[in-house]
Structure formats: C-alpha cells, structure tokens
Amino acid sequence: MRDRLQTAESVADRDETIDHETVSVPVLVVGAGAAGARAAIALADQGVEPLVIGKSDHGDAHTTWAAGGINAALGSLDPEDDWTVHAADTLDEGHYINDPEAVELTAKHMPDRIRELADWGMPFDRTEDGKINQRYFGAQSFRRTCFVGDRTGEAMLDTLVAKARDMDIPYRDNVMVTRLLTDGERVAGAMGFDMESGEFVLFRSDQVVLAAGGSSALYERHSSREDENNGDGPALALGAGARLMDIEFVQFHPTGMVGARYGEEWDGRLVTEAVRGEGGRLINAEGERFMERYSPDQMELDARDVVARAIAQEIREGRGTDNGGVYLDISHRDDEYIRERLPSMVERFQSLGVDITEEPMEVAPTAHYSMGGVDIDFSTGETGVPGLYAVGETVAGVHGANRLGGNSLAETVAIGKLVGEHVAEQVEDTAPAVTDGQRALAQREFHALAELADSDGEVTARELLADLGDILWEHAGILRDETSLREGLAELDALRARTADLRIDGDRTSRDFEFAVDLSFSLPIAEAMLRGALERTESRGAHYRTDYPETDGDWRRNIVVSEEPTGLNLRTRGVAEPSPEVQDAVDTGYELDYHHLE
Ligand SMILES: Cc1cc2nc3c(=O)[nH]c(=O)nc-3n(C[C@H](O)[C@H](O)[C@H](O)COP(=O)(O)OP(=O)(O)OC[C@H]3O[C@@H](n4cnc5c(N)ncnc54)[C@H](O)[C@@H]3O)c2cc1C
C-alpha cells in the first residue's frame, strides 16, 4: 500500500532491532520468468554470478502460462518476412506510440534468440523439412509465430531454467520483495520476506534488475495467475523514483473462458489465440460469424483490441450466449490436427466435459496484458535511477497501444539478453557491504511490515483486491469515458481508506499477508491506470474512449507517470520516429491475408 510505504518513513527509528537475514550479491534479479532468466544467463555468460529470486519455485513463473507462441521473422514458411516487417507490424498494431528502438531491437534480435533457444533444447514444432514451424497470429502479415503446441511458455521457461542450472546460477525461491532499498540517488538492493518462514531479508546489491511481471491481474476478470501480475514490478520501480509509461493501455484478450459456463474458477482463463491462428471461428448466439461485419479482410485474426470490442458489442447488443459469451469454434478442422496443435486446450476442455474437436467453446474478453510499465532505455534496461534496471512485462515500450500476440515472449529474451550484458559491465563490487544508513532504512521497512502483519481490523486484503478488480473492470475496462473514470477514481479513494481496517492474523507466511503486500503494489498502479485513461482524450488501440472515439494525431505521445511528494504526477512526451528501413516496411503496408486460412 502506498500508505504503508509512506508509513515506512514515519515508523521512526525504533530501539528494537528486527532480526533479518542479509544477503550481499553483485546483481539481484527480481523475477524468474523468461525475462529474469534470460537476463541472468547473459550476466553469467559475462562472468557475473547474479542471484535470481522469485515468489515461487524455480521454473514456476507466470511465463509457463504463455501458450500460443513466440514471434521471430525466420521466414520458415513465408520467405518474404523479415525483421523490418515484424517491426512494422508491431508499430502498426501499437498505433505508433511504441518506442521504435524497443521494437527494432526486439524484431532484429529475435531470429538469433529463437535459434539459440532451439540449440539449448527447446522442442519447437518443426516443418516436414526440419525448419522451425510458424503459425499465424492476429494482425501479423506473415506466419511468424514459433511454437511448441500450445505450451510454448512452459517449454521456453523449462529450457531457460535448465540452461541457468547448467551455468550454476543461484536461485532463491519463495521470497517476496516489498520495497527497493534506495540510498541517496541510487538503488542499493531490496527488502522483503521469505514467504515460507516469514523471516525478513535484506538484499544488498548495487545492481538490481526488476523482471517482476505486469499488472493485468488487477482487473476482476483476467487471464493471469492469482498471485502474479499484481503490479509488483511497476510499483517497486515507481516507489524507487523510476517513471512509468503507457499505463492506461491494458490489453483485453478477446477469448477468455466464461465462468458462468465452466465454473467461476475458470472465469477469464485464456483460450489461446492459437485457436484462431489455426482457423477458429467466432459465432454469436444467432449463429452468425459476426467478424464479417467488423473486419471482413482479417476476420478473427484482426488485432486483439478490434476482436475484443467486437465480441463485447455482440454481447452488449443481446447477441451473446445465455452465459454472457460468444462461441469460438475450431471443430471444422481435422480432429488429429486440433489434438496436435492445441493439446492443452483439448485437455483442459475435456476435463470440463467439452470435446473441442466436436463442439464450440464459450468465450468473452478478459484482461490479459499490461502494455504499460516501467519507462526504460531499451539497449541498457536503465530506468533513470542509477543501479535499477527493468525488463519483460514489467516495462513499457515495445507494444505501444496494443500488443501483438507472440511479441511478449519475444521481448523477454531479446531485451533480457541485452540488459544482462549491459548490467554485467556495471558491476564493480561483488559483495557490497551494508552501511549503517542502509541498515536503518531496512529496519524502517521491516517495522512497517511487522505492523502491517499485526493489523487487526475487519477486512481482508483479498476482499479489497476483489473490489479493486471490480472498480477497474467497471470504470477502466474495454470501453471508457470521463464520467465513469472519475467515478472509478472516487471509488478508489474510498477503497484506499478501507485499507486502514485491514485484518491480518500476524502470520507473515499467510496468504492474507502476501495479498496485503500485493494490495500495496496494486493501489498506485490502479490510480495511474485510471488517471492515464482520463488524461488520454482519444481512442487508440486498447484504450477506447466512447466520448473520444477517434484517434487524435496530436495524442501520438506517451503519458509518463512519476511519484512526487504530492502524489502521482502525469506528463506527456513525444514519440521517436522509426529507422528509415522500418519506415519503408511501414509504408509498404504489408497485411495478413486471412483467407489463406480458409
Ligand atoms: C494465459 C497467458 C498466455 C500468454 N500467452 C502468450 C504467448 O503465447 N505468447 C507471448 O508472447 N506472450 C504470452 N503471454 C504473455 C507472457 O506470458 C508474459 O508477458 C511473459 O511471460 C512475462 O514474462 P516475465 O518474465 O516478464 O514475467 P513473469 O513470467 O510474470 O515472471 C515474473 C517473476 O517475478 C516474480 N515476482 C513478481 N513479483 C515479485 C516480488 N514482489 N518479489 C519477488 N519476485 C517477484 C515472480 O515470482 C516471477 O518469478 C501470455 C500471458 C498469459 C496470461
């Protein structure tokens, strides 16, 4: 909670010293998904041994849920594809507020990163002649998405973790960072607690890489794991003095499972875009293939924002199913093909009594990805706060106003490697000592956390997170307008006031305590989302304002958020231009011909 973080300052220097563990390392990598893992491998390659930490076991990060694939212009099936077209597609679907450098670095490096992953043992699907196979994904001009069935993220993280283990990169599981240690103008480590023992930990390091995931799970209906994507990364960076960017852009994936049909525990869980990439059709309750009306050329494979709005409109206008969704049907394809290309989808629905080779699924949009995050320099990962770097879904820039499916996994490894290499060059002290001042700062944080754990009010953090999810879904969802966003901000204020009445049973290993820390991250990010969405008086990509339905050229700017003593400060910044070769590809106007799939 920002309130808690503020009290950390006011928890005056106490006489009592709270016991804690101290760990001193040359580089601390916070987060062990694909981004953290790839950065760590690059560090180790340069002879620096980082410590990687995460909230779960090694190999168990949100990345494992990525399903459909990872983009690289290999041209295995479509030789006309190249990295400039990949970059142009990314800019086009990002509605030209992406950071062109971020996009170009990702697109340019991806073919090598894919070949490297294959060399490290990632079992990519292959064509008959042994090339890495590629499938269509939404709004991409060519078949560019490499895949391992529909378990690409799991296969990728398995590969990266095996590589990290081969290189003896140390990993510490079940530790949650609550605050970065800022010492004067720079970051000097991180503080947190061991989620199994409840013991406090001070990590002392002059270089900290944040790879702690995104913030889309703040929404009531979302596709993430319950304990991931709660805004930890962006909030930790903001609290340490870094800037956030594009935080108003949240991607709503068109096809989340419908809870009323499959059970609430499945509500919002993703039906991978690969279903549409393999020819899946969207049908409303009247049996109409409605994308004909919204996007006759690209149909179901138009960009996610277009398809999500189309589904939402069908439901709103009464053409949805009784359960509040639409149908997604792949059953016209050969059974064996579906089983081979979409094994987890087949399995998951089978466990719910649905055979997707024979019958359609029921789907509706779900909050899926945060395009916004920490504002970084992409060739280095620098955040502007000395000693603090960020990478992966925690950052903003590659995807602009709308992310192309398959580009997020791409960003994690393409940029992860660059950041790791840069950070390795900055290391001067491999075992930095803890100063008295740093020790005092850590004590303040531990006292504040101990006080938080002892909260004996009436409301749980889980309840408040659920209410926060409702506020965002209701007021900063697929369709937004000024009145509703203002109402959302007022409701957020009221919710913030209720955090004074938190109930935690004193047990720092409990979920209640973990969720209370999550809440502390979620609140400033939710505020930034609402305020950013209010500030952006236009519609662009995933941000759709019903009171400003057009894209406004003057708004080709990023909204940048910083935390000041008076609260969050928002300002805008112009966007750089792409390189001439990428601009050429943009001007050529490549476009997917959906009817290849028919
Ligand atoms: C269902 C689903 C399917 C997807 N499918 C695809 C796809 O097919 N292709 C694609 O390109 N993208 C896909 N994505 C997006 C993609 O999976 C993510 O953007 C990407 O995996 C993010 O990787 P990351 O390393 O940045 O973060 P994560 O994998 O989220 O890892 C974050 C790490 O940070 C740790 N952490 C978080 N907070 C803290 C804290 N406070 N203290 C300590 N550690 C912390 C976590 O424990 C974890 O280890 C999908 C997303 C979802 C939700």
Question: pLDDT for 535-561, tens place per residue?
Answer: 999 999 999 999 999 999 999 999 999
C-beta 36 within 6 A of ligand 1: yes
Give the rounded distance of the alpha carbon of 581 from its chain centre. Answer: 29
User: Among all chains, which residue has been given the structure tokens 């909050």?
Assistant: 367
**pLDDT by residue (tens digit) across 423-460?**
999 999 999 999 999 999 999 999 999 999 999 999 99
pLDDT at 595: 53
- What stretches in the chain show pLDDT beneath 50? 1-10, 12, 598
User: Among all chains, which residue has been given the structure tokens 């059974």?
Assistant: 335
Pocket test for ligand 1, best of 393, 402, 445 (most atoms within 8 A of CB): 393
pLDDT at 184: 84
pLDDT at 318: 97
pLDDT at 7: 47
C-beta 210 within 6 A of ligand 1: no
pLDDT at 136: 86
Instruction: Collapse the DSSP code of 84 into the 3-class scheme (helix H, G, I; strand E, B; otherwise coil) and give the result.
Output: helix
C-beta 33 within 6 A of ligand 1: yes
Distance CA(558)–CA(554), nearest Å, equals 11
Q: Is the backbone of residue 254 left (phi > 0), alpha (psi -120 to 50) or beta?
A: alpha
Q: How far is the CA of 467 from the centre of ligand 1 (A)?
A: 23
C-beta 56 within 6 A of ligand 1: yes
34 CA: nearest ligand 1 atom = 25
| Model confidence pTM above 0.85 | yes
3-state helix/strand/coil string of 331-353? CCCCHHHHHHHCHHHHHHHHHCC
Check if the beta carbon of residue 71 is closer than 8 Å to that of residue 110.
yes
Distance CA(401)–CA(115), nearest Å, equals 29
Residue ID of nearest Cα to ligand 1 atom 36: 212
Give the rounded distance of the alpha carbon of 261 from its chain centre. Answer: 27
pLDDT at 303: 87
Q: How far is the CA of 498 from the centre of ligand 1 (A)?
A: 30
Instruction: Give the chain's length.
Output: 598
